[in-house]
């Protein structure tokens, strides 16, 4: 066991930590730093492919075996808004974006269905990283790129919603860093509050279209949030034109 050679950059974590005490999701292959944008999970390749599709012709992306994403500009012209923010996310070393991509039905703590989920961020103490007001910021996002790909295909905007999720995580981290205040997992209250870090981040790059949730009880009747006896056993996601693209649990 040895002390992390960059321990002074992350003083809120023990110098004997490995990947900030989360080796299941985050990888630190040489002990020298957590990568700026890293994709992990059993669907990390699908997530990477969706990102590349979203910035086709603007950025050439690559991903190493540990999930670290890098980017090269393919044009001297101004990038699209999505392309520019993705490039910033990849090159801004003070905001470390962690994307966990899987085809699970639920997020890691089992508290909500998985589609695209803002899991919050952690800002390390003031003045510990770079010249920004806050220290290094670690963001966490969980996505199902298989489902998002189906959604985007219907809307004829390949990769757009996976790009939305990555940028949302990055912007949330940047906002938290500027405020020197960590953000928690998004809640219904955050979604209703247009000034919350989640809501501000969510609006920067839109999803590929309107997304709707439909909950059903044991008898197959659609039920709605806030109603008495809200105890759904099935969830269906549809587009704005009522095309179902994903169900939980998955239909065989």
DSSP per residue over 171-228, as a string? HHHHHHHHHT----S--HHHHH-TTSHHHHHHTTS--SS-EEEEEE-TTS-EE-TTST
- Asked if residue 146 has pLDDT above 80, the reply is yes
Inter-residue contact 96 to 137 (CB < 8 Å): yes
Is residue 16 domain-shared with residue 107, that is, in the same domain?
yes
Q: What is the pLDDT of residue 124?
A: 85
| pLDDT for the residue numbered 32 | 40
The pLDDT assigned to 17 comes to: 46
Regarding whether 217 and 194 lie in a shared domain, the answer is no
pTM over 0.85: no
Residue numbers of the domain that contains 115:
7-202
Calculate mean pLDDT across residues 189-199. 96
Q: Do 176 and 222 sit in the same domain of this protein?
A: no
Check whether 28 has a pLDDT greater than 70: no
> Based on the domain organization, do 100 and 193 belong to the same domain?
yes
pLDDT digits (tens, 9 = 90+) for 118-133: 999 999 875 444 444 4
Q: Are residues 167 and 220 in the same domain?
A: no
Let me know whether 182 and 150 are in one domain. yes
The answer to whether residues 109 and 160 belong to one domain is yes
Query: What pLDDT shows up at residue 136?
Result: 83
């Amino acid at each position: 066991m040895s002390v992390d050679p960059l321990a002074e950059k992350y003083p809120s974590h023990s110098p004997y930590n490995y990947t900030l005490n989360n080796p299941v999701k985050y990888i630190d292959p040489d002990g020298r730093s957590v990568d700026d944008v890293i994709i992990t999970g059993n669907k990390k390749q699908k997530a990477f492919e969706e990102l590349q599709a979203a910035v086709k012709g603007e950025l050439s992306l690559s991903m190493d075996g540990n999930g670290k994403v890098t980017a090269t500009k393919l044009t001297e012209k101004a990038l699209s808004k999505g392309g520019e923010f993705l490039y910033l996310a990849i090159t801004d070393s003070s905001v470390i974006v962690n994307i966990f991509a899987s085809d699970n039905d639920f997020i890691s703590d089992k508290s909500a269905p998985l589609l695209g989920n803002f899991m919050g961020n952690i800002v390390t103490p003031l003045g510990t990283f770079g010249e920004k007001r806050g220290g290094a910021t670690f963001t966490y996002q969980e996505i199902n790129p298989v489902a998002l790909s189906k959604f985007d295909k219907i809307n004829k905007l390949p990769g757009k919603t996976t790009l939305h999720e990555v940028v949302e995580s990055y912007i949330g981290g940047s906002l938290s860093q500027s405020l020197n205040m960590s953000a928690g997992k998004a809640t219904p209250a955050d979604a209703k509050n247009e000034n919350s870090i989640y809501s501000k981040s969510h609006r920067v790059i839109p999803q590929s279209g309107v997304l709707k949730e439909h909950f059903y009880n044991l008898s197959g009747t659609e039920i709605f949030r806030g109603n008495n006896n809200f105890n759904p056993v099935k969830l269906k996601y549809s587009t704005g034109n009522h095309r179902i693209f994903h169900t939980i649990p998955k239909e065989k």
